[in-house]
Amino acid sequence: MTSYLLPDDQVSAAAFTQRGEGTLPGHLGLVVTVMERGRVEGHFDIVPTHHAPNGFLHAGSVVTLADSLCGYGTLANVSDTASGFTTIELKSNFFATALTGRVHARATPVHLGGATQAWDCEVTHADTGKRMALFRCTQMVLRKKG
């Protein structure tokens, strides 16, 4: 049986939404709606600060949503023998954009190893269901010193 760095009572949507307050995810209005060890979902509602100077949705807004959800999932799955994690690779493919509405994302683990984790995240427009992006990241699990 795996013992996690975060106990079950700290793995909740409300706890992770609050965790983002005062940081980039909170600044972008990221709301976590599902927080489970095997699935994380969340969204932000598009406002003008999510736009790039060219008027389109800034890719960084989408990447921040996906990367945050994958990171939250990683943290929820880190063993208590570790001290945390860090991102070692991420990749995004973009298929569509939006100027208004809600951007939704769902992150799921591909690999939950002791030294690395890999997560996929599908980003969609909540109002239309249209796929906006696919995202994958790999995390390195950090070992406690000593």
* pLDDT tens-place string over residues 76-89: 999 999 999 999 99
CA 7 distance to own-chain centroid: 19
Is residue 88 within a helix (H) or strand (E), and if so which, with residue range? strand 82-94
**Domain residue ranges of the chain, discontinuous segments joined by +:** 8-143
What is the per-residue pLDDT for 71? 98
Closest CA to 99 of 24, 49, 146: 49
Please tell me the predicted confidence (pLDDT) of residue 99: 93
pTM: 0.96
Token digits of residue 99: 């100027």
Taking CA 26 as the corner, what is the angle to CA 123 and CA 56, rounded to the nearest 5 degrees? 50
Domain 8-143 listed as CATH 3.10.450.50: no
Helix (H) or strand (E) holding 35: strand 31-36
